[in-house]
Structure 1
Amino acid sequence: MQIPDTPLYDVIIAGAGPVGLFLACELRMTGCSVLILEKAQHPHSPLKSLPFGLRGLSVPTIESFDRRGLLEPLKARAASREKPASHWMQQQRRAGGHFAGIQFFHDQIDATQWPYRLPGPIGSVAADMESIEAVLAIRAETLGAEIRRGWSVEAFSQSIDRVTVDTAGETVHGRWLVGCDGGRSSVRKAAGIGFAGTDPEFTGYSVQVELADAALLQPGRHYTPSGMYTYAAPGTIAMVDFDGGAAHRSELKREHVKAVLRRISGIDLTVTALQLATTWTDRACQATNYRAGRVLLAGDAAHIHSPLGGQGLNLGLGDAVNLGWKLAATIRGEAPAGLLDSYSTERHPVGAQILDWSRAQVGLMRPGRSSRALEAIVRDLIDTRDGATYFAARVWGVSLRYDLGGGHPLVGRSAPDFELADGTRLSELLRTGKGLLLDFGAQPSFQALASRWRGRIDYVASEIRDRLGLIALLVRPDGIVAWASEQAADTEEASRTAARWFGGPNAG
């Protein structure tokens, strides 16, 4: 393959998965030129389709998609896909999620414990990976991102003002390089960024099989003296075998899968056909830093863990929405000192917390009496109203808060989706990719403040249906509240906050 010319792109992204595509959308929305290099020739994979490709989107992900006008297209596309019958859906009560297979339910959750969330649907939206990638790819290309499939980052070098990337025998140039190329990231390795964590304790299997005696298996998740398995009729099975990860990435044949299934389930089952199979582990590692010079990491390139609870995709998409506006502001020369470094400062603790959440579930799943005793205690806790609310807040991402300083408890949290007097929602106001100063009192001083950052901050003055006691708030482009006030405060604090996140004010 030949590239006709080698322009200097603002950003080269390695990896056209959901994280790389979402990051490309964020960058193109602000006018940055983007080249995505994807190793795979084609985006299609049976593991991205149902049933294995099914993913639950957390509240922060749902909000991010809604704020960019992507949620409805995704829901429409996902709704057109035939979903497999799941044992979770056969229950009378509506499951809200689980911790190591221990379910919590919507009717147990006390949303009044989240005082800065407006009433409305809270939970997750389910979509298959193929639909998620397709919607993001369409948006990225519509915005003008260039996607080259069959291209991988083989090596790169960086100078004071650019990164030179060798790929498929050609060389491309960018001001920045972002590795969104998975857990075995070549970008991370070439950048010399450490990847520290814990080794695997088990091999996980996701298989689709034909069984001669499927009636012997009960649907649902089951702990056994040898491990754990989950069964959904007629032949979708997930298994966890505590073998230290020995069988991960090995060639999976029918006899091997049958042997593992028999050992884990304790049932003399016959696998007549192996239709689809993949393995995974609970290895949990995190990049020591998300940046090395002009190279940044996001998604699985920055952190890996077991897929228990479906946190990985959401964690990576959170990286993309946090990084996008900061990198764009840096490219435009508008970023205040330290803005780009705040990406790692904010997202690294979030990743570390998710890794520990994953490790805690593994501890509960280990075979043995101690783990079963601990499981019984957690079941009792999760069956209480406070317990279910705590687990929902963690699993759904409602508890996410960055340490941004500031006295108001809403600072660092996702902005409530306020409804203006004309019916416009806050999420719609964020579709420009700019910051937002929302003034509930139409105070001239706030309008004057916003005008000093015109082009970077939009100003909206309106009555609000439920203002939660607030009179004004400043929201970052990623939807995070940077400043909030419950009284007619002077504008000095708001001005300092605007300068912290949006750089110096416009001249004049």
Structure 2
Amino acid sequence: MTNEVVIVGAGPVGLFLACELTLAGVRPVVLDRLPERSGEQKANGLVGQVLRLLDHRGLHRALSGAAGAPRPVPRFVFGAFPLELHRLDGNPLHALPIPQHRIEAVLEEHALALGVTVLRRCEVTGFTQDRDGVTVDLHGPDGAGQLRTRYLVGADGGRSTVRKRAGIGFPGVTSPDPVSRIAHVLPPEGLRTTDDGKLLLPGCPTPFGPWTHTRTEHGVFVISPFGPDAAMIATMEWGGPPVDGAGPLTLDELRASIRRVTGADLPLAPARTAGPFTPRRTVGHNTRLAERYREGRVLLVGDAAHVHAATGGPGLNLGLQDAANLGWKLAAELRGWAPPGLLDSYQDERRPVGERVFMHSQAQTALMAPGPGITALRALVGELIAHPDNLARIAALMAGSDVRYDTDCPHPLAGGFAPELTLDTPTGSTRLAELTHSGRPLLLDLTGGALGLADRAAGWKDRVDVLAADCPQAPPPAGALLLRPDGYVAWACAPGEADRAGLDRALRGWFGEPRI
């Protein structure tokens, strides 16, 4: 038996890719070497455009516990600079604090509900590919075996076996600094709160904002109380004493780091309540980007294609949108309607986004380092960020809302993620995100059908949904939108300007030839 797609790695990215493929009519198999979901604390939340993407799949409520659209956060941090995002009109940055194990649980539940097969205790040991598919060697519960698949996708993390076996280079930068330490502890005795909500440590004159990075001349300090029984404390240090990265982090080691970074000597004890921040140390950072995202019938997604510093939380924003971009294109290839070059456009579109995360994660780490030169640079950058235009650019960079894919459509919405809209449809008022749960392309006439586009798209009815609705927003942002399954606008036109020739080009260019 030949499987259509085998995905290696049942983390958030691999699971989400499996869901996207299933929605598009492909039944993938997911392999993972672990016997069950890992409880290891990795990502601490979701940041950026990915929350709007998950809203488009109906998953935001399950993750957040809240109905309605994701809400922008009023404040965030960039390179230990506080970003006062509430000052912006149209703040684009969304964030949701949620531990990665909870994200994986929601995505696995969604995948299983869709009928995705997840095989655990299956470790890929190698593979060979030919013109028709890939033969995957694995070791499972019953010993050595093989699977045959038309495509193999590596979603198996920064040390990806799939990437290595495919011979894809992973160039980048590895640094021994900074050393990061984090733990869930009892709030220190003598902790005080200032009138403006900042925290004062006993014996330290520097106030620290909760849930933000505060740079000192000796490193970075983070403290965030979780009530009277727990607090999260973290440090980052450059050029500190030698570290034995193999041993577990102790509270005495964290206490010594706090003393070096802040000058405060804090007694530390384990928190009285359970929390996600088990003592953890990370030595240095690794910033690497795969030379290519595809080698024949083998593709990379998520951390298998890129690793970077966690500052600002860009990892899942990048990886889950990789999966959304790849899923429908790979399904189109398997279903036989993909136009030429569609699958290759996965790398063309997503690798430049990886390069931008590569850039800004390194820049943020550099801005937090100690030293008088960095202090002077921070003074300048602080002045620049204070300007609303620059603040808006940083917010868009962190959110990924500045991503624009190439289209030949001149409308300002074309190439970007779909706007947040409330629409009047024949069945009642609804948000645009609620119309995209199926993961199918959508041609949306915002004039209630006055543009007469349904007949124009009739040849694609097997793969493109068509809906006429009224947009009460004045003025409406467009007369019509053609949305790709990943939420990006493939084509748009102004009200009263149907541009049927442009729509025809977009339908053929993204969704293949019509079937009459």
Normalised-by-shorter TM-score class: 0.7 to 0.9
2:181 to 205, 217, 221: 205
Structure 1, unaligned runs of 5 or more: 1-6, 79-93
Q: CA deviation at 1:334?
A: 1.0
Quote the residue 2:263 is aligned against.
266
Q: Secondary structure in 2 aligned to 1:98? A: strand
The one-letter code sitting in structure 2 at the alignment partner of 1:204 is: S
2:454 to 442, 447, 453: 447
Q: Distance in 2 between the 1:177 and 1:277 partners?
A: 33
Q: CA deviation at 1:392?
A: 1.8
Identity of aligned residues (%): 38
Alignment pair present for 1:456 and 2:463? yes
1:194 to 144, 165, 169: 169
Q: CA deviation at 1:265?
A: 3.0
Q: Distance in 1 between the 2:145 and 2:292 partners?
A: 29
Alignment pair present for 1:491 and 2:480? no
Provide Cα deviations, 1:218-267, integer angstroms capped at 9, x if missing partner. Answer: 65433233322212345522222224997484323425444433333333
Quote the residue 2:65 is aligned against.
76
Quote the residue 2:114 is aligned against.
143
Q: How does 1:107-506 map to 2 (within 5 A)?
A: 107-111=86-90, 123-168=94-139, 169-200=144-175, 201-209=177-185, 215=191, 216=202, 219-220=208-209, 221-233=213-225, 234-243=230-239, 247=243, 249-254=245-250, 255-271=252-268, 276-279=279-282, 281-421=284-424, 422-441=428-447, 442-443=449-450, 446-466=453-473, 468-486=476-494, 487-506=496-515
Q: Distance in 2 between the 1:315 and 1:22 partners?
A: 13
Provide Cα deviations, 1:124-145, integer angstroms capped at 9, x if missing partner. Answer: 2332212211111011111111
Alpha carbons of structure 1 residues 130 and 469: separation in structure 2 relative to 1, 3 Å: closer
Q: Distance in 1 between the 2:188 and 2:478 partners?
A: 63
Q: Distance in 2 between the 1:265 and 1:461 partners?
A: 60
Q: CA deviation at 1:416?
A: 1.5
Provide Cα deviations, 1:163-219, integer angstroms capped at 9, x if missing partner. Answer: 111111221121111111111111111111111112223222223346876743765
The one-letter code sitting in structure 1 at the alignment partner of 2:326 is: L
Alpha carbons of structure 1 residues 451 and 280: separation in structure 2 relative to 1, 3 Å: farther
Alpha carbons of structure 1 residues 434 and 360: separation in structure 2 relative to 1, 3 Å: same
Q: Secondary structure in 1 aligned to 2:509? A: helix
Q: Secondary structure in 1 aligned to 2:119? A: strand
Q: Distance in 1 between the 2:23 and 2:244 partners?
A: 40
Which segment drifts farther, 287-296 or 96-105?
A: 96-105
Q: Secondary structure in 1 aligned to 2:420? A: coil
Structure 2, unaligned runs of 5 or more: 68-72, 192-201, 272-277
Please report the TM-score for the alignment, with normalisation by the length of structure 2. 0.85
Aligned length: 473
Q: Distance in 2 between the 1:489 and 1:470 partners?
A: 10
Q: Secondary structure in 2 aligned to 1:22? A: helix
Q: CA deviation at 1:273?
A: 6.1
Q: Distance in 1 between the 2:190 and 2:289 partners?
A: 40
Q: Distance in 2 between the 1:133 and 1:501 partners?
A: 31
The one-letter code sitting in structure 2 at the alignment partner of 1:391 is: I
Instruction: Kindly indicate whether the alpha-carbon contact (under 8 Å) linking 1:193 and 1:289 is maintained by their aligned counterparts in 2.
Output: yes
Q: CA deviation at 1:492?
A: 1.6
Instruction: Kindly indicate whether the alpha-carbon contact (under 8 Å) linking 2:422 and 2:431 is maintained by their aligned counterparts in 1.
Output: yes
Give me the CA root mean square deviation. 2.5
Q: Distance in 2 between the 1:349 and 1:404 partners?
A: 16
The one-letter code sitting in structure 1 at the alignment partner of 2:263 is: G
Alpha carbons of structure 1 residues 426 and 360: separation in structure 2 relative to 1, 3 Å: same
Instruction: Kindly indicate whether the alpha-carbon contact (under 8 Å) linking 1:110 and 1:386 is maintained by their aligned counterparts in 2.
Output: no
Instruction: Kindly indicate whether the alpha-carbon contact (under 8 Å) linking 1:205 and 1:277 is maintained by their aligned counterparts in 2.
Output: yes
Quote the residue 1:103 is aligned against.
82
Instruction: Kindly indicate whether the alpha-carbon contact (under 8 Å) linking 1:54 and 1:126 is maintained by their aligned counterparts in 2.
Output: yes
Q: Distance in 2 between the 1:179 and 1:326 partners?
A: 16
Q: Distance in 1 between the 2:412 and 2:20 partners?
A: 27
Instruction: Kindly indicate whether the alpha-carbon contact (under 8 Å) linking 1:211 and 1:270 is maintained by their aligned counterparts in 2.
Output: no
Q: Distance in 1 between the 2:356 and 2:453 partners?
A: 37
Q: Distance in 1 between the 2:260 and 2:149 partners?
A: 52
Q: Secondary structure in 2 aligned to 1:377? A: helix
The one-letter code sitting in structure 2 at the alignment partner of 1:9 is: N
Please report the TM-score for the alignment, with normalisation by the length of structure 1. 0.87
Alignment pair present for 1:54 and 2:50? no
Q: CA deviation at 1:56?
A: 3.1
Q: Secondary structure in 1 aligned to 2:171? A: strand
Alpha carbons of structure 1 residues 245 and 503: separation in structure 2 relative to 1, 3 Å: farther
Instruction: Kindly indicate whether the alpha-carbon contact (under 8 Å) linking 1:203 and 1:246 is maintained by their aligned counterparts in 2.
Output: no
Instruction: Kindly indicate whether the alpha-carbon contact (under 8 Å) linking 1:435 and 1:477 is maintained by their aligned counterparts in 2.
Output: yes
Instruction: Kindly indicate whether the alpha-carbon contact (under 8 Å) linking 2:451 and 2:498 is maintained by their aligned counterparts in 1.
Output: no
The structure whose residues are more often helix, as a share, is: 1
Alpha carbons of structure 1 residues 77 and 15: separation in structure 2 relative to 1, 3 Å: farther
Provide Cα deviations, 1:253-312, integer angstroms capped at 9, x if missing partner. Answer: 425444433333333445566952232533211001111111111111111111100111
Q: Secondary structure in 1 aligned to 2:415? A: coil
The one-letter code sitting in structure 1 at the alignment partner of 2:487 is: G
Provide Cα deviations, 1:338-365, integer angstroms capped at 9, x if missing partner. Answer: 0000000000001100110011111211
